[in-house]
Structure 1
């Protein structure tokens, strides 16, 4: 009998040790590892979203999906192609955010104070998601933290504040109405392979470059083969020009310029085309200002300065 009792006591002790050890492991695990079964905070199926509205005291924008391409509409009725990468980043975040903590909004006495504390009152950003079947989901975006990468949010019509595990204010570019505007300056059909000529028109000089077979030549103001090591970085930079900002007018400290760039290209069986960029200014810290349609675009450039000294682009052995 004593043997059986000892065996039972030993197994009970081992069981208790195992349970305590398991609890200790769970307690030590990062919180994120314990949330894998929790569904996304956003209830709308992300793949079916075709319209996103973002409204606050600072901005009012609409993103609309048309033929798998997102379009950006601003409050001033201007429309632009949206930056697909930034829209994708927002949608990815919305599909994965989880509620880490919940707290009641409160009763009528402290509701206003709680909304104010978490910036869910007049400072909130209203995010509305609409699907192709016209169902909508609206979330108020409140105070966010860069340090903890979290945001306090409130579903429209609900009384529970949630802290979610992403900085949603950063993802919607809260202080920039053109955050979702496409940054690429050149159309997608223009790349290093389809470009066959580049001409820089200045008031007193023209720099004309043309592709002959697989080689690039300078036609004007001098004639000769371009040195690959000098021209390739310039070509790559032009192809990949991206706006780092949009301005209404030239900054007062910028240097005025007047350079027209005409990029000739031929893509597949399409008719040869010419794309035009107008440089109207330059800063003293490596930025150029380009007039594009109805906007002034600020771009960073290192190699555009080479156009002021065309001889730097030439292969000296072939110069005429």
Structure 2
């Protein structure tokens, strides 16, 4: 049950977007919520799950509900950076070069199976994810607003894959693990597949979504909550600070300061979704695993002992006291 607070302007519109997407998506509530949080917080999201879990359909349906452009790029070993960002083309008749923009110039970009392309192709997304722009030749081109990259990767195959560089992984605000649906949800999925797909109406447009992002910027974050985010991130680098000396041998590198920033930004967006104009500790703790799990570099001992990043983070969250913040409307 959420604490009492004034409803954030526009949160009802977001609920309508969820309702519209649910016409085609069964279950996957966590994925959909994280996608909207990333959109409102101007972040990007990495999704890991086996094929057939409606990851692509979720992004496409969300794009239709917000009236935005949607592009899907299937990452393969023969892909080159120009296939992603675009290139300059020489026209013989005019004797001039013209820029042909790539599929990154969209609102929602799905990078399907991103770990199947070489590192130079993966790195082509670095500039556009961080700076929201692409440099082709000597010209810089801005991508449309809002802009979200959702990348997927398959966890069950390793042949022909290229692990994402740490610099690339750190650009993603969240890494969401998608599991199988329940038996009831899967029954509904099969039942819907026997009928024509429901049409999704555009509830908002990209300009309205940008306005919602600006409303999220006004959500209040108590300094104690910022301090808690920093302490949590610091504890992943040095578990001994929270009395977890036994975990130190499992962590080679902890989360970067970008994790602290994203913890607060995402918690602010989640508070907005929950109808508040201020964030509470639960907003942050609910998102902690998704924001931190891909930023931990585990040691060989952790792999040998089958200790996962989620297990380490869960212990850190339990060991770190949650700040006592007055939950009242500002």
Name the TM tier (shorter chain): under 0.3
Which structure would you say has the larger Rg?
A: 1
Higher strand content, 1 or 2: 1
After TM superposition, the score normalised by the length of structure 2 is 0.20
TM-score, normalization by structure 1: 0.20
More helix by share: 2
Question: Whose RCO is larger (CA < 8 A, sep 6+)?
Answer: 2
